[in-house]
A = this chain, B = another copy of it.
Amino acid sequence: MRLSQFHLRTSKETPADAEIVSHRLMLKAGMIRKLAAGIYTWSPLGLRVLRKVERIVREEMNAAGAIELLMPSVQPRELWEETGRWERFGGQLLKIKDRKDAEYAYGPTHEEVITDFARAELASYKQLPVTYYQIQTKFRDEIRPRFGVMRAREFLMKDAYSFHLTDEDLAREYRNMYDTYGRIFTRLGLKFRAVFADTGAIGGSASHEFHVLADSGEDAIAFSSHTEYAANVELAEALAPGERPAATESMRRVETPTQKTCEDVAALLGIDLSRTVKSIALMGVDAENNPQFVLALVRGDHVANEIKLAKLPGLAEYRLANEAEIAEHLGSEPGFLGPVNSARPIQIVADRAVASMADFVVGANEAGYHLAGVNWGRDLPEPVLVADIRNVVEGDASPDGHGTLSIARGIEVGHVFQLGRKYAQAMGCTVLDETGKAATPAMGCYGIGVSRIVAAAIEQNHDASGILWPESMAPWQAMVCVINPKNDAAVAEAAQALYAELSAAGIETALDDRGLRPGAMFADIELIGIPHRIVVSERGLAAGTYEYRHRAAAESENLSRADVVARLGAAKSAILPAA
């Protein structure tokens, strides 16, 4: 591709309404243009990248035995009524009436349509297992579309659906798709983690999210240093620490006139935050469903986890206690709460880490005072209820028993679900099994946000000058830059020859023959993130060299033409699928 024949339109201005770096860079590079809130045109440059992602997804899905089809974007209301999702899906469902007042939705997902297809097309167990997929445009009417294509309303998605006679076979295909997703993100050149996840709105039993790791990610992920274990921080289990040390201090009352947080108390006492215990006053219910005051204890440097708390008996619908309830049960005002010397006998839930502590600091249930050197079994009864009620932190033991946990932020770009028989049952989808009886198939569903991946890749791979595309996602692998093409025929000719040679070698190359000044040309090429830049200049030709620079390298190198070709040949082979 000659850039003079292409539509490339970069911008120096930083767009005012773009909150995240990928949105800013996609606008500056001219990859997308906003048509309406959450609705974007993909420019020729942007589309090149989108198609790369699409192609890798397609190749790996095919290699995994999935079969591509294409379902409509406009779906009749009747199907969504069958699963009860016409109402339940909520405001994200874009509803449409046609000229005859028949109702439709612009598909945000295709469980209903594929199940309708399956109930008509699948008759026998002999047709199972089968996995269908499509790469298709979807619409979700986000309340607050933002972040460009990261949370657009109209977007491109790969969605796959599998059908199985048995749960075991569903689990097998689930693993197949899990592995396929790993290959996809590896080929895309992205750092990612598969994260054990709650199932959310789609419903079903087991699920994993695939996250591209990036500091700007919305989700915090805990992952093992040694294994593939990864989970959302809120879902990862915090294991019990080792044995509780012996008590070495006696309990004493310390004055903490204005110190109402663990941080302030630790600072005042000159001790580590991990020696303090936070007391959180909750209202739950007892076995007879009467209101019950509960004091949850977590270490001062830990964060209580609402999901885990809500799983404990009586706390399914807990709320924070108010000041009157706190005063009634503990006899104190907030800021000085603790499990010792409460006004009434109270129910205590101790985090596993707290149950293993000795010589710790808690509130004294008296304004202006804390207790230090507190020990279980001596200053207060051994805790009856010990549970995991906190978020894991960096350095915790991995819940699978191997290595320790690291925490990173991630952007969800894929999701695999074991749906079970929910949709097939609701829609009366059956096949005849080996004995000739009608059986409801188990289903899996597997999504990848194709357009979102483009933005996520930029969040992970950028610098002050622009995008650093992974080799496999770049609009072109290489850019041959011509200095002063109009006035120097020899340079223009040499650049054209190099461009032709690289292209013939199967390296996707563009020729920047726009005749820009070098500074403006290089700024463009860095902004749009081309991995390999080769400058052809009069001076270089005189010396028989080409100035080569990798986008991520600090310096350029002067290479012979043969070395340029060899260097790019090696880069190209790195992006091909493993045989």
Contacts and interface: CB of A to CB of B under 8 A. Distances in A.
Contact of A7 (B130, B137, B139): B130
Interface in A1-38: 5-7, 9, 30, 33, 35-37
A70 B96 contact: no
A36 B102 CA distance: 10
A91 B99 contact: yes
Contacts of A120: 33
A70 B50 contact: yes
Given A99-B141, A113-B41, A72 B154 contact: yes
A72 B40 contact: yes
Which of A7, A40, A141: most chain B CB closer than 10 A?
A7
Which of A41, A47, A116, A153: most chain B CB closer than 10 A?
A41
B35 A67 contact: no
Contacts of A331: none
A531 B70 CA distance: 24
Interface stretch (A73-81, A204-212, A213-221, A392-400): A73-81
A26 to B, nearest CB: 14
A33 B67 contact: no
A121 B74 contact: no
B43 A121 contact: yes
Contact of A74 (B72, B75, B154): B154
A479 to B, nearest CB: 17
Given A96-B106, A106-B96, A72 B7 contact: no
A559 interface: no
B74 A47 contact: no
B94 A69 contact: no
B98 A69 contact: no
A65 interface: yes
A299 to B, nearest CB: 44
Contacts of A137: 73, 137
A68 interface: yes
A96 B141 CA distance: 12
B69 A41 contact: yes
A225 to B, nearest CB: 40
Interface string A73-110: 11110010000000000010010101100101010000
Given A76-B36, A98-B94, A117 B71 contact: no
Contacts of A143: 99
A70 B42 contact: yes
Nearest to A50: B70
A75 B7 CA distance: 22
A67 B41 contact: no
A67 B46 CA distance: 12
A448 interface: no
A190 B189 CA distance: 42
A182 interface: no
A102 B36 CA distance: 10
A91 B99 CA distance: 7
Nearest to A90: B99
A35 B71 contact: yes
A44 interface: yes
Nearest to A155: B72
A293 interface: no
Contacts of A116: 35
Nearest to A51: B68
Contact of A72 (B30, B41, B69, B72): B41
Contacts of A309: none
Nearest to A92: B99
A73 to B, nearest CB: 6
Given A69-B43, A73-B73, A132 B36 contact: no
A143 B100 CA distance: 8
Nearest to A71: B41
A187 B137 CA distance: 28
Contact of A104 (B6, B36, B50, B98): B36
Given A44-B68, A96-B106, A74 B39 contact: yes
Contacts of A102: 36-37
A527 to B, nearest CB: 16
A98 B41 contact: no
24 contacts: A5-B65, A6-B67, A7-B67, A7-B121, A7-B127, A7-B130, A35-B75, A35-B76, A35-B113, A36-B104, A37-B102, A39-B72, A39-B76, A40-B72, A41-B72, A43-B121, A44-B68, A73-B73, A74-B94, A74-B106, A91-B99, A94-B99, A98-B141, A99-B143
Given A35-B116, A50-B70, 20 more contacts: A6-B67, A33-B117, A35-B75, A35-B113, A36-B74, A37-B102, A39-B74, A41-B71, A41-B117, A42-B69, A42-B70, A44-B69, A47-B68, A72-B154, A73-B73, A73-B139, A74-B94, A96-B96, A98-B141, A99-B143
Q: What are the 9 closest A-B residue pairs judged by CB atoms, nearest first?
A: A42-B70, A36-B76, A44-B67, A39-B72, A91-B99, A41-B71, A99-B141, A44-B69, A72-B154
